[in-house]
């Protein structure tokens, strides 16, 4: 326990007595004393620091001292952050000058009597011993806490175990952010308060963009948090957030420094394992698409648990290219709820497979990340390819945070949605089949030409300019397209049919 004014007054050997400015219930009685000075200077504040105690014989208080002198003297001590003033009696004064008692009482500044020639050095030595003992206790606590964190780092889930141990040792919430500012999803017991979450996220990204090692204390909405970077200058690995109501003391800072070192190693190890797991998931998805359901099922059971039961729904997250924070949470959820969700990254698309009636948890995860997804109609595992096509088409219609568009509901999403839900894709494929059968260079050129021409309202000059060709070349390509597809592209009907078929055929 630190030395406080209350604990000092309770030391019977010093025979100290509170005179004015505070009582036993005041918070100042429990605030730590950082040191004790003695001085009879009229202005000792240049040699004092906040949190210290001042002792005086009061020789600078004479019989003719005025109220203004006492007010100015006490105000200087208060502004400097001095905890209290101890006034010795029986040396220069038989009693504390009444004018000083009145001023301390009016200004709420603690004033206590040091009577019976109690030596100042005894008080100073007592406080110094308490401070030394507290520092030793904090050092011992720090060593024990660091050993506990080191043991946690040896567990299979090293990164999560480290953060859980830090949370327990400091009795506060903790959060870890990676090198791009995404929160690393690990299991902890205490959540980050909502009122500080946004400020923390913004500050973390600012610190990472700056690229320099730093520690920041942030106060937002009545909540406090200390942010510490991981890694070296220009090679930051992330940011550790520790939510404590007061700044960390030296022992706590030592513990956090140890956690940062271990977390940096664990984060790299975890990321390497995550990358391996994600590659494995992607490979298993390809095997599923190839029809090797039994092989994937046996592998999944050994690693994560069984695959979701048929029928399943296939989801594709809209507009994402390896959304790492989403993948992290999906990995955590899949590990804790084996058999309810399978996911994989496929060419930059996050593909999620759930049971037909078990999509609620996935929807909630999407909403937390402000993302949307397209969802297939119920399919069997052997129909996974069809599910992917339906999910991709649904994802094209998904817009807005948290949107969750099911394939069977596409009719509510406009004419193209209705056509897709009604099974128009095979018709579009049949219309364009002669073009799709052409050699790749010719086919791709004609499809790009058709898209650009139709997008520019079939205007020749803007379309030719967009394609970087002469308008006569463009006309020749459209004529070739008419012949291949047996369409009259001079008519609105022909152009509308081609446009619709191309839109439906887009992946």
CATH code (residue 189): 3.30.450.40
What CATH number should be reported for the domain holding residue 326? 3.30.70
Q: In this predicted structure, what is the pLDDT of residue 424?
A: 53
In a shared domain, residues 437 and 406: no
Q: Residue 108 region, left (φ>0) first, then alpha (ψ -120 to 50), else beta?
A: left
* Residue-number span of the structural domain to which 448 is assigned: 425-505
Any domain includes 169: yes
**DSSP letter (8 states) at residue 309:** P
Domain's final residue, options 355, 379, 413: 413
In a shared domain, residues 328 and 400: yes
In this predicted structure, the answer to whether residue 489 has a pLDDT above a threshold of 90 is no
Asked if the bond preceding 301 is cis, omega within 30° of 0, the reply is no
d(CA 393, CA 398): 9
Any domain includes 280: no
Q: Are 400 and 312 in contact (CB under 8 A)?
A: no
Note the residue count of the chain.
507
In a shared domain, residues 351 and 319: yes
Reported as a pLDDT band with limits 50, 70 and 90, residue 402 is low
Q: In this predicted structure, what is the pLDDT of residue 271?
A: 67
In a shared domain, residues 50 and 146: no
Q: How confident is the model over 69-83, as pLDDT tens digits?
A: 999 999 999 999 999
Any domain includes 380: yes
In a shared domain, residues 407 and 430: no
In this predicted structure, the answer to whether residue 366 has a pLDDT above a threshold of 60 is yes
User: pTM for the complete prediction?
Assistant: 0.50
What CATH number should be reported for the domain holding residue 436? 1.10.10.2840
Reported as a pLDDT band with limits 50, 70 and 90, residue 399 is low
Range 436-443 average pLDDT = 78
Least confident of 134-138, 153-157, 295-299: 153-157
d(CA 483, CA 138): 86
In a shared domain, residues 332 and 450: no
User: Which of the residue ranges 88-97, 183-192, 434-443, 447-456 has the most confident prediction, judged by mean pLDDT?
Assistant: 88-97
In a shared domain, residues 75 and 30: yes
In a shared domain, residues 443 and 499: yes
The number of distinct structural domains making up the chain is 4
In a shared domain, residues 346 and 400: yes
């Amino acid at each position: 326990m630190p030395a406080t004014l209350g604990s000092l007054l309770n030391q019977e050997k010093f025979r100290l007595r509170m005179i004015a400015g505070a009582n036993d219930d005041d918070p100042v009685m429990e605030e730590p004393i950082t040191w004790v000075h003695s001085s009879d200077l009229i202005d000792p504040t240049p040699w004092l620091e906040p949190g210290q105690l001042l002792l005086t014989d009061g020789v600078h208080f004479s019989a003719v001292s005025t109220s203004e002198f006492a007010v100015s003297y006490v105000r200087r001590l208060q502004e400097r952050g001095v905890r209290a003033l101890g006034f010795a009696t029986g040396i220069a004064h038989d009693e504390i000058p009444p004018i000083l008692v009145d001023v301390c009482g009016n200004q709420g500044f603690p004033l206590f009597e040091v009577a019976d020639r109690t030596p100042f050095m005894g008080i100073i030595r007592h406080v110094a011993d308490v401070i030394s003992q507290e520092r030793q206790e904090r050092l011992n606590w720090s060593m024990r806490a660091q050993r506990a964190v080191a043991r946690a780092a040896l567990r299979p889930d090293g990164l999560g175990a480290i953060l859980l141990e830090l949370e327990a040792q400091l009795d506060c919430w903790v959060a870890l952010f990676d090198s791009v500012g995404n929160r690393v999803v690990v299991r902890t017991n205490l959540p980050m308060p909502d009122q500080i979450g946004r400020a923390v996220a913004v500050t973390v990204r600012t610190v990472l963009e700056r690229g320099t090692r730093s520690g920041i204390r942030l106060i937002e909405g009545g909540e406090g948090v200390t942010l510490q970077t991981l890694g070296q200058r220009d090679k930051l690995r992330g940011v550790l957030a520790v939510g404590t109501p007061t700044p960390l003391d030296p022992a706590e800072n030592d513990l956090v420094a140890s956690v940062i070192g271990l977390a940096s190693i664990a984060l790299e190890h975890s990321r390497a394992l995550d990358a391996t797991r994600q590659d494995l998931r992607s490979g298993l998805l390809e095997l599923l698409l190839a029809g090797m359901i039994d092989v994937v099922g046996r592998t999944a059971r050994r690693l994560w648990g069984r695959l979701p039961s048929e029928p399943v729904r296939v989801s594709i997250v809209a507009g994402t290219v390896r959304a790492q924070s989403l993948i992290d949470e999906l990995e955590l959820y899949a590990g804790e709820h084996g058999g309810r969700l399978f996911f994989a990254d496929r060419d930059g698309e996050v593909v999620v497979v759930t049971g037909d009636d078990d999509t609620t948890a996935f929807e909630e995860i999407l909403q937390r990340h402000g993302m949307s997804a397209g969802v297939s109609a119920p399919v069997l595992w052997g129909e996974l390819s069809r599910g992917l096509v339906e999910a991709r088409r649904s994802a094209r219609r998904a817009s807005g945070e948290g949107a969750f568009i099911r394939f069977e509901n596409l009719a509510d999403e406009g004419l193209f949605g209705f056509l897709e839900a009604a099974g128009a894709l095979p018709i579009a494929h049949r219309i364009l089949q002669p073009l799709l059968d052409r050699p790749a260079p010719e086919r791709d050129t004609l499809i790009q030409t058709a898209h650009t021409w139709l997008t520019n309202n079939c205007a020749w000059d803007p379309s030719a300019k967009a394609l970087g060709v002469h308008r006569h070349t463009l006309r020749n390509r459209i004529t070739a397209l008419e012949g291949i597809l047996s369409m009259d592209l001079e008519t609105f009907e022909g152009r509308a049919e081609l446009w619709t078929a191309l839109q439906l055929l887009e992946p």
